Amino acid sequence: MDIHEYQAKERFRAAGIPVPPGEIATTPDEAYAIASKYGGMVVVKAQVHAGGRGKAGGVKLAKDATEAREHAGNILGMEIKGLTVEKVLVTPAEDIQTEAYVGVLVDRNNQAATFMVSAEGGVDIEAVAAETPHLIRKLVVDPRYGILPHQGLWLANYLYDDPGLIKQAAKIITQLYHAFIDAGASMAEINPLVTTPSGEVKAIDAKMSIDDSELFRRPDVAAMRDSSGEPASEIKAREANLSYVKLDGNVGCCVNGAGLAMATMDLVKYYGGEPANFLDIGGSSNPDKVVAALEIITSDPKVKSILFNIFGGITRCDDVANGIVEATKRIDIKPPIVIRLTGTNEEVALEILKNAGFDAYTSMDAVVEKAVALAGAN
């Protein structure tokens, strides 16, 4: 789960990291009021779950409150990478001397939280890591000890020469680690970490992603979810406990298991079609889940055919077949449905489906070819 910059800043502030003040506006007048309160120059920043806000025109410097209102008017309602901006953060503009990068993420290869710091701030760290890795200092944090004082200093030493700045940055790095752990994050980033002419080190941007598996035990973090930018179908899928990702094609896919679901989408493409979605229905044969899945898939008007690909292992195919028959009685579905079931009790399952008037298969290739053909014909 991604959280907004202003939410990440709240977490950072709570951890003791120096972060400039800021407030959220949802209208230009609110932006005006906030900017008037601060006086002087402010920055108006789109709060949306997408990178590249600056390039998209979602971050603007305003010389006074009137200009802040004008910028907010332009940014609110703007689309950035398909997401509508509904909130802006209004924050006093800082006098910046240098910009650095400080981030921590769960690194798969090291199996631990890993820091990356670079004196090249305000940049795309992935690009720096790929093109100029010598400009990054990395530290793998041993989960048994957490970040140790000398490690924070070692990272900070890479960023600054001035002892005062090093001391402040080392403290911020340690605080960032605690904010990261306390939120159950998979990534936390300050980009840029700035120095001011008066010798202060501050976080003027903040980014954080939360591990979805942490949310059940962190209600304060879960409460930060903002679904406003998400497609309605994805919200519904989350509520129904289904893994769903909307795509642009016209072949709706309903599969048990994530790997098989991806392989099914790939096979749709292989046979010349385009998948409309990723959907993992899990091991359940519960008709309610099938109904929810079908409602989600058919809510996409582009869908011209629906394909089920079920590998019955522990789950019995006849249970799944009954679930599909039951579900399709409850709701009216326009696009044609084709079903592939194989594994435990497949003969019984095919019988059930054929009796209910469905086109049923045992081969994955055959059902995908058929679904692609149907989508093309409709």
Partner 1 sequence: MAIFIDNDTRLVVQGITGRDGSFHTRQMMEYGTQVVAGVTPGKGGQSFEGPDGKTVPIFNAMDEAVAATGANTSVIYVPPAFASGAILEAADSGISFVVAITEGVPVLDMAMAHAFARDRGVRVLGPNCPGLISPGKSKVGILPAQIVSEGPIGVVSRSGTLTYEAVFQLTSNGLGQTTCVGIGGDPLIGTNFIDCLRAFEADPDTAAVVMIGEIGGTDEQEAAQFVTDHMSKPVVGFIAGQTAPPGRRMGHAGAIISGSAGTAEEKIKAFEDNGITVAQRPADIVGLIRAALA
Least CB distance to partner 1 at residue 194 (A): 24
| In 31-167, beta strands by DSSP E | 42-46, 59-62, 79-80, 83-84, 88-92, 98-107, 112-118, 137-140
Least CB distance to partner 1 at residue 228 (A): 18
| Non-local CB neighbours of 352 within 8 Å, separated by 6+ positions | 318, 321, 322, 325
Least CB distance to partner 1 at residue 187 (A): 9
Which helix (H) or strand (E) element contains residue 293?
A: helix 287-298
Q: Tokens for 284, please give them.
A: 């359940």
Binding site for partner 1 (CB under 8 A): 106, 108-109, 111-113, 126, 142-144, 181, 184, 186, 211-214, 216-217, 243, 245, 247, 255-263, 265-270, 275, 278, 280, 311-314, 342-344, 363-365
Query: Within 13 Å and on the Cβ side, how many CA atoms surround 205?
Result: 24
String of DSSP letters for 294-318? HHHHHTSTT--EEEEEEEESSS-HH
Least CB distance to partner 1 at residue 222 (A): 13
Name which of 96, 116, 100 is nearest 169 in CA terms.
Answer: 100
Q: Among all residues, which ones are annotated catalytic?
A: 101, 189
Q: Output 35 or 321, the one with its CB closest to partner 1.
A: 321
Q: Output 60 or 340, the one with its CB closest to partner 1.
A: 340
CB 74 within 8 A of CB 58: no
- Please name every residue paired with 190 in a beta bridge, in sequence order, or none if there are none: 102
